[in-house]
Amino acid sequence: MKVAFIGDIVGRPGREMLKEHLKKIREEFEIDFVVANYENASHGFGMTGKNANELISYGVDCMTGGNHSWDKKDIEALFDTHEILRPHNYPDEVSGTGCKVYEVAGEKLAVLNLMGHYSMPLVDNAFRKARQSVLELKEQGVENIFVDFHAEATSEKRAMMMLLQGSVSAIIGTHTHVGTDDFQIAQGTAYLSDIGLSGCRDNVIGMDSKVPLKQFLTGMKGHFDIPKRCKKILQIAVMDINEGRCSNAFKLKYFCDGRVIKTDAWLEE
């Protein structure tokens, strides 16, 4: 099966890039299943029901979340009606789930959404939850497992790779909005510390730079806004996954000026 992943979709600019490119990408690369992180999809904070339906109409099959999952009140109902996850290591009393299994190209595919600890809300131990969840999935006969690890610290993300490599098909990081240059495949597990945002690329992590600059210069906080006009980017990872292992992977960057950059994951011998 071919699985694609889109990291933090930031506001209207990010949604517009999916509208323009995703269906063509699915067709060109014969993608079977698309996962996308929604937590910044509605003006940078959370996701509304309207925007959830919008992303689905563009070709997204499953959506993962993070620390902004609950920023819009719509999300509680969406957990029951849409293929939408939230980090699985939130306490059991929290609504929704962070792990679902899908039938894709004649095989089972699990999508597991986890959240790190550094500078994040208080949640259960991500590493213990990951180990437990993967074990339970294996006992259910699920071999193909994709992990969105939503975390601030690259050290946490790399440690998760060390814990799970060889046991899951892919671990791709989200949250920082800044793409990293370490896409690799080791022991059949694809790994990328952070895929980067889809949205405005010429400001501060997809947001207008005025408020962040004021905060850094003066210490005074303000409300972050999505720029009305900006230079946009769509970043997407594509992975060949079969029998629990990733055999090939690459990242595509689509720019609003028409440029496309493809970067292959390296194979760690």
Instruction: Kindly state the DSSP code that residue 86 receives in the 8-state scheme.
Output: -
**pLDDT-based confidence at residue 269 (cuts at 50, 70, 90):** confident
C-alpha to C-alpha distance for 78 and 36, rounded to whole angstroms: 15
**pLDDT-based confidence at residue 184 (cuts at 50, 70, 90):** very high
Residue 54 neighbours by CB distance under 10 Å: 18
- The set of catalytic residues is 68
**195-236 residue pLDDT tens:** 999 999 999 999 999 999 999 999 998 989 999 899 999 999
Q: What is the dihedral of CA 44, 47, 50, 54, to 10 degrees?
A: 80
Domain ranges of the chain: 2-268
Residue 86 neighbours by CB distance under 10 Å: 25
CATH number listed for the domain at residues 2-268: 3.60.21.10
C-alpha to C-alpha distance for 15 and 88, rounded to whole angstroms: 25
**73-120 residue pLDDT tens:** 999 999 999 999 999 999 999 999 999 999 999 999 999 999 999 999
Q: What are phi and psi of 21, to 5 degrees?
A: -115, -30
Q: Is the pLDDT of residue 31 over 90?
A: yes
Mean pLDDT of the chain: 97
% helix, strand, coil for the chain, step of 5: 25, 30, 40
Contact 58, 29 (CB under 8 A): no
Q: At which residue do the structure tokens 């370490």 appear?
A: 182
